[in-house]
A and B are shown apart, each in its own frame.
Chain A
Amino acid sequence: DTAVSQTPKYLVTQMGNDKSIKCEQNLGHDTMYWYKQDSKKFLKIMFSYNNKELIINETVPNRFSPKSPDKAHLNLHINSLELGDSAVYFCASSDPGQGYGYTFGSGTRLTVV
């Protein structure tokens, strides 16, 4: 069983479109995250979501909006996609009560053309 799963694995879309990336974790973790890895491999936190509290990174454009229907899911919706949004997006989860581990999904490679 995959601990943190993301779909789709690859996403190619045109500028201006709206798209969503889904993330699900079956670890029972309380906190979930979205990270962006750019073309230089730099990983940067975008959002973290702990149960009812969403922590927004101020450097993320408001075209990006995380949505969490329940503790096990954190989806990322992106409006009006731009070329610069092309990157690999990683979902992760953590729970300090379970050994302080952070578990990552396998990533979604988004290409905006």
Chain B
Amino acid sequence: AQSVTQPDIHITVSEGASLELRCNYSYGATPYLFWYVQSPGQGLQLLLKYFSGDTLVQGIKGFEAEFKRSQSSFNLRKPSVHWSDAAEYFCAVAPNSGYALNFGKGTSLLVTP
């Protein structure tokens, strides 16, 4: 069955430290891959997306993600976390364009001073 897994429910990092959020998927072919961020009480904001081409994708707010076909992963990274990055992060996958997104269960990021 098609699935999206975010293994880490909660992650705590110190401000200024690096961050990596994990995402693994199980699909028959390379799907379309997305990362969204949701601040408390807010909607979903797209950080970045991958469809094809360069496997290292740059997004907004200093985030990047790397697609690794061999590992069926699309991990999100940021070299230096800011307190404002504290939020819920969702990995999402679609099998093809025009299909609904299938979301992981999210990772809650806490940033400590």
Contact = CB atoms under 8 A, between A and B. Distances in A.
A45 B43 contact: no
Interface residues of A, number: 25
Interface of B is mostly: strand
B98 A31 contact: yes
Interface residues of B, number: 24
Nearest to A45: B100
A107 B100 contact: no
B105 to A, nearest CB: 5
Contacts of B32: 100
Given A100-B51, A106-B43, A43 B90 contact: yes
Contact of A41 (B34, B42, B100, B106): B106
Interface of A: 30-31, 33, 40-45, 48, 50, 55, 90, 92, 94-96, 100-107
Interface of B: 32, 34, 36, 38, 42-44, 46, 49, 51, 88, 90, 92, 94, 97-103, 105-106, 108
